[in-house]
Structure 1
Amino acid sequence: MMTAVLCSHVLMAQEDTTSLDNVTVTATRFPKKLSETGKVVTIITKEDLEKAGGKDLPQLLNEQAGIIINGAGSNPGKDKSVYIRGANYNYTVILINGVPVVDPTGVGGAFDLRMLPVDQIERIEILKGAQSALYGSDAVAGVINIITRKGGDTPARLYGGFSYGTRHTLRAHTGLNGSFGASSYNISFVHNETRGISEAKDTLGTQHFPSNGMLQNAISADLDGALTHSLHIKPFVRYAYFTGSYSPEAFKPGGDRFRASLMTAGSQASYNFSKGSLTGLFSYDEVSRSYPDGFIKEFNGSKKTAEVFTRYDLHPYFQTLLGLRYDEVSMKQPNATTPDTSSKIISPYLSLFLRNLGGFNFEAGGRLTNHSKYGNNFTYTLNPSYLINDRVKLFVNFGTAFRAPALSELFGLYGANPNLKPEESQTLEGGAQFTTTDKKADARITGFIRNTKNIIAYVSNRYTNYNRQKDHGLELETTLRPVDPLTIKLFYTFTEGKVTTANSSNNGDTTYNNLFRRPKNSFGAHIGYQVIPALYISTNINYYGDRRDLDFSTYPSLTVPLKAYTLWDLYTEYSFLKQKLRVFAQVTNLLDADYYETYGYAVWGRAFNAGLRFRL
């Protein structure tokens, strides 16, 4: 966030997601090389995003190691749930330019990724592990920081793109950006629409289920105003509107309508001095969702965040980060017994960094969270790492995390329970990361164990606390560049988890695997080849192992198996006029795999799109 703009030339120069030379702003809240932090960070670069073709944000994230986006291959109107390392969908904090965004009206408070078009994004950083000490409540499994497009290198540059594909899917975007000295701006507009598919699965193939289409419009404006060489003011405003239809039940056709809108506005101010920086920010999010054909017609919510923090370099080997954050979340449900609800959080935090002590780096951080309902909770992190010959990094992370129940879980109309306890977790992870001397190969291996108590689950139409949850897993990632035009990225992940809860029938405990819709095993391979300077081709293969889901058509619900599946995508682009104009074509799910992400709901199948991008 903040100082990210000042080091954007460094960030944009990096292309590999696992290189120790990469610079991250999410791991520590200020720019730091991956070689200097033991945090596990994956970076989706500007180049990756430009070669995403017609994919949306959930599809793109679903191709990353350790991340499953349930609904990524389903109809665009289908909800998208983020599972990092098998953790629940509301255990991930979503940031836009370092500022947290929350949907108070959503299930569990999880943010709706459909509201963020890829064409407004410059870069994505994914930080895994318990991060409540740095990012507060909900950062149990990780953080996804979405960094939006910035100003260009000329006073005014017009850019845009257009694509059209299967099922009348149209994507278009245009924008204007530029810079004046140290100041810059970016204004963009995005329009997406599709006829879509039937959201519910048609098992007979003769029922002629109606299609559930969608339409999305979004506009954003970001300004970085340099008042002096050291002081920058960065106001922003973003608005997204999303409408479509959906099927309210599995295996049954439906055309129920929905509308959703997100408005985000605020500003950041950053002041850089000789030994550090001071940053302040304020943001306001307003979310509205309506279902004209549903029992509950409308949901409205808002979130206010104010934060100030400072980084200070006490010594070339010792840095500090000190901050204070205030969050206020409110939700309105006209049909509810308690129509207006809110919560407030005040949280001071402190992190200490030892760096470059003969290859040894260490971070220790803590945060005191004062919640208006749950009082005080302290979370902390310990993060030692050791760099050998500037090429091999050994790391260990131990962190605690805290998640207060969302307003919808406490006061919503669906199974609300005002007596819920907050969830608390501990995560231990460790591994090794290396980059070869010739920089032709990078790799990382990470193992993790996560224990959570008072886990919140939806059981028998009501939210309740289970005793504990234990998850563990392994991630292998590598990037190979055997020759300059060729890049190969591979990953394998294993994730397993079990929940333990009291069993009243035998006065004991019951333990079972509860990571529904999440595979134990997944594999990904991306191969990109720059044939000539103007021609680029790539292929992407992702395998997702056997999973399980719940069949809610019976009461109580029954567990059903979901078969493994493989997705194979192809992409090519050709550039003209010194890369000012690019044409591209893409095929997703080339083998037309038929599978379930959610039991009873259809997936997109084979799809084709082609288009162009320009930068004048």
Structure 2
Amino acid sequence: GDPSMISNEFDLNLVPLNLIERIEILKGAQSTLYGSDAIGGVINIITKNKSVPNFSGDISTGSYGTRKINAQHSSSIGKLNYVIGFGNESAKGFSSATDLTGKNNFDNDGFRNNNWFANINYAFNQNWNLKASTQQTSYNADIDYGAFKDDKDEKFNNATKLTGFVLKYKKEKTIFQLQYQLSTQDRQYKNDSLDKTYTIFEDNQYAGKSHFADAFFSKAISKNMQWITGVDFRYGSYHQTYVSISKWGPYNDNFKDTFQYQTALYTSLLINDASNKWLLELGGRSNKHDRYGSNQTFTISPSYKLNANIRFMASASTGYKAPSLYQLSYNDALKPEQSFNTEIGMEYKTTPLFFRAVYYNRTIDNGIDYNYIDYNFFNYIQQKVNGLELELNWKANAKNNFSANYTLMNGQETNQNRVTTTDTITYNYLLKRPKNTAGIQWAYEVSPKLNFSMAARYIGKRYDVGGYAAADVSLKSYTLLNAHIQYKLNKHLLLYADGQNLGNTVFQEINGYNAMGRMLMLGLRLK
């Protein structure tokens, strides 16, 4: 993550889409293997590392003045495989802030994104393998002053560098892996004096750096037992400078450089019976943080295969989320968030049909929240969440494929009263998370050269923070309709069109900020 960000999050806008091979989503607490921040799940982005000689590119244009171009090349030289690529994306955009003035004079907020990357893979022999990668992104955007507040000259600039390697040894039933990653982030928010807001001039700069190292050993102890054990180390630091000029005069603040680190030992045991019907995963992690001390997590995940089509599964796990450096700079007494998660479900799978149903329950203690009256971070008491997830995929025939999903989420949170902060209150909803979400998709192969797909997504009513000493506000539900069509001109060229929010639905994901309207793109892809 980015140690200078509020919650140590990494901005996914900085990940080049042409670098991604696939995305895996692991649900439930995953802190035993993945550590801090895996309190409710993990998004695992797997990047490309092809060895087959190949050149590909993509160019597209569309609504809001959007332009995209990217290219990549992969090949091999002896034992060395490599992938290199670059991408450029820009848009004139739309106003980030929602205009309630009725004057319709909020300006558009555009962005520009440039990136390049290189991945190499070198096989020393049949057992030892080394992967190394580097990625650099430059992201610039126009931003507004805040919710419902326009600003015609505030800018956001971000420069990110990611560099790392993975050294792997594999022989028969034994695996050893060592990995390291260094990331640096330089962010700037600059508001000059052309368009007056609350300040005449404002320059806020952040510099963050994080180190991550992990080593694990995996061994098949027997035919029915696999053991994994490992250690990891995480270090994050950031520096901030702030300069402003307002009607009260100039202000200059250099925040003290700050850092934090944590070490961990983890282990996992995977057991199955001779018939491969029973599968049991047991895991544990011990984590030591230089600020708040130690904490432990565990995972128990059994599953049972009733027959060739039906499998039942369950899990119980704990997770944690360490307070970020940014949060600790406001309140150094913050405790880590801690979660207890349980799931029970079943899967049904045949050649044309897949169905999955899971009931989940999660309790979070010492959750970290922000007080909009005192402008500080604090630990709230408890959050409880339970619900149901349904997933269906049906391959009707060789040309038609249908999929659908539904999520029910019930939640309540015992927290400070967000209007007064002087008493404790239980909210029977979760901020920014709807009780009901659903989706459906249809993919149709018209011919070997022509493919078409259409999808609809429903997001139910949810609540967001109202602001300073204000009650939470309700955001209305909405439905989005998307479509994609592509035609293969020849074995190397593919023409495509993409449409998002075809109904031009007006909605807000965050209170006070606009969401994208109808978006149409036309592109050409070279393979």
Give the TM interval when normalised to the shorter protein. Answer: over 0.9
Deviation of 1:514 (Å) = 4.7
Q: Distance in 2 between matches of 1:357 and 1:432?
A: 22
1:321 matches 2:228: yes
After superposing the two structures, state which structure 1 stretch, 202-211 or 520-529, moved more. 202-211
User: Is the Cα–Cα contact under 8 Å of residues 158 and 188 in structure 2 kept in the other structure?
Assistant: yes
Deviation sequence 1:338-367 (CA, Å, 0-9, x none): 521111111011000002443000000001
Gaps of at least 5 residues in structure 1 are 1-101
Of the candidates 409, 421, 429, which is equivalent to residue 495 of structure 1?
409
User: Is the Cα–Cα contact under 8 Å of residues 182 and 229 in structure 1 kept in the other structure?
Assistant: no
SS at match of 1:253: coil
Written as runs of structure 1 = structure 2, the 5 A alignment for 1:522-533 is 522-533=437-448
Q: Distance in 2 between matches of 1:220 and 1:376?
A: 37
Q: Distance in 2 between matches of 1:317 and 1:562?
A: 51
Deviation of 1:209 (Å) = 1.4
After superposing the two structures, state which structure 1 stretch, 246-255 or 604-613, moved more. 246-255
SS at match of 2:29: coil
After superposing the two structures, state which structure 1 stretch, 359-368 or 504-513, moved more. 504-513
CA distance 1:594–1:429, shift in 2 (3 Å): same
Q: Which residue of 2 aligns with 1:451?
A: 363
SS at match of 1:291: strand
Q: Distance in 1 between matches of 2:474 and 2:393?
A: 33
Higher RCO (CA 8 Å, separation ≥ 6 residues): 1
Q: Which residue of 2 aligns with 1:249?
A: 146
Q: Which residue of 1 aligns with 2:431?
A: 516
1:548 matches 2:463: yes
1:463 matches 2:463: no
Q: Which has the larger radius of gyration?
A: 2
| TM score, norm. by length of structure 1 | 0.79
After superposing the two structures, state which structure 1 stretch, 181-190 or 419-428, moved more. 181-190
Q: Which residue of 2 aligns with 1:25?
A: none
SS at match of 1:167: helix
Deviation sequence 1:302-323 (CA, Å, 0-9, x none): 1101111111001110000011
1:339 matches 2:256: yes
Q: Distance in 1 between matches of 2:340 and 2:156?
A: 38
**Percent of matched pairs sharing the same residue:** 31
Written as runs of structure 1 = structure 2, the 5 A alignment for 1:146-225 is 146-154=45-53, 157-180=54-77, 183-203=80-100, 206-225=103-122
Q: Distance in 2 between matches of 1:262 and 1:245?
A: 18
Q: Distance in 1 between matches of 2:239 and 2:452?
A: 49
User: Is the Cα–Cα contact under 8 Å of residues 127 and 143 in structure 1 kept in the other structure?
Assistant: yes
Q: Distance in 2 between matches of 1:179 and 1:489?
A: 38
Q: Which residue of 1 aligns with 2:316?
A: 398
Deviation of 1:296 (Å) = 5.1
RMSD of aligned alpha carbons: 1.8
1:571 matches 2:484: yes
Written as runs of structure 1 = structure 2, the 5 A alignment for 1:366-515 is 366-411=284-329, 416-436=330-350, 439-459=351-371, 460=373, 461-501=375-415, 509-515=424-430
Deviation of 1:205 (Å) = 5.3
Deviation of 1:379 (Å) = 0.6
Deviation of 1:188 (Å) = 0.8
Q: Distance in 1 between matches of 2:126 and 2:229?
A: 23
CA distance 1:173–1:423, shift in 2 (3 Å): same
| TM score, norm. by length of structure 2 | 0.92
Q: Which residue of 2 aligns with 1:82?
A: none
Of the candidates 289, 310, 333, which is equivalent to residue 217 of structure 2?
310
Of the candidates 491, 504, 526, which is equivalent to residue 592 of structure 1?
504
Q: Which residue of 1 aligns with 2:282?
A: 364
User: Is the Cα–Cα contact under 8 Å of residues 410 and 429 in structure 2 kept in the other structure?
Assistant: no
Letter in 2 for 1:189: F
Letter in 1 for 2:479: T
User: Is the Cα–Cα contact under 8 Å of residues 570 and 587 in structure 1 kept in the other structure?
Assistant: yes
SS at match of 1:383: strand
1:352 matches 2:264: no
Deviation sequence 1:431-459 (CA, Å, 0-9, x none): 011211xx101011111111111111101
User: Is the Cα–Cα contact under 8 Å of residues 366 and 378 in structure 1 kept in the other structure?
Assistant: yes
After superposing the two structures, state which structure 1 stretch, 182-191 or 301-310, moved more. 182-191
User: Is the Cα–Cα contact under 8 Å of residues 170 and 193 in structure 1 kept in the other structure?
Assistant: yes
Q: Distance in 2 between matches of 1:106 and 1:508?
A: 29
User: Is the Cα–Cα contact under 8 Å of residues 198 and 211 in structure 1 kept in the other structure?
Assistant: yes
Q: Distance in 2 between matches of 1:434 and 1:197?
A: 44
- Paired positions, count: 503
1:557 matches 2:470: yes
Q: Which residue of 2 aligns with 1:133?
A: 32
Deviation of 1:135 (Å) = 0.5
Letter in 2 for 1:562: L
Letter in 2 for 1:477: E
Q: Distance in 2 between matches of 1:120 and 1:317?
A: 37
Letter in 2 for 1:132: S
